[in-house]
Amino acid sequence: MTIAVFPGSFDPLTNGHLDLIQRASKMFDHLIVAVGQNTSKRGVFTASERVAFIEAGVQDLPNVSVQVETGLTVDFMRSVNATVLVRGLRNSTDFEFEQGIAGMNRALDDQIDTVCLMAAPKYQFVSSSLLKEVAQFGGDLTRLVPPAVAEGLRERLERDK
24 and 65 in contact (C-beta within 8 Å)? no
> Would you say 124 is a known binding-site residue?
yes
> Would you say 73 is a known binding-site residue?
yes
> Would you say 69 is a known binding-site residue?
no
> Would you say 122 is a known binding-site residue?
no
> Would you say 123 is a known binding-site residue?
yes
> Would you say 88 is a known binding-site residue?
yes
> Would you say 25 is a known binding-site residue?
no
Give the C-alpha separation, 21 to 51, whole Å.
14
> Would you say 9 is a known binding-site residue?
yes
Q: CB pairs under 8 A, 24+ apart, for 123-132?
A: 123/14, 123/15, 123/16, 123/19, 123/90, 124/16, 124/90, 124/91, 125/90, 126/14, 126/15, 126/16, 126/90, 127/90, 128/9, 128/11, 128/12, 128/14, 128/41, 131/12, 131/14, 132/12, 132/44, 132/157
> Would you say 67 is a known binding-site residue?
no
Integer angstrom CA distances of residue 141 from 29, 79, 134, 144: 32, 36, 8, 5
> Would you say 40 is a known binding-site residue?
no
Catalytic residues: 17, 41, 90, 128
What residues are designated binding site for substrate?
A: 9, 41, 73, 87
What residues are designated binding site for ATP?
A: 9-10, 17, 88-90, 98, 123-129
What residues are designated binding site?
A: 9-10, 17, 41, 73, 87-90, 98, 123-129
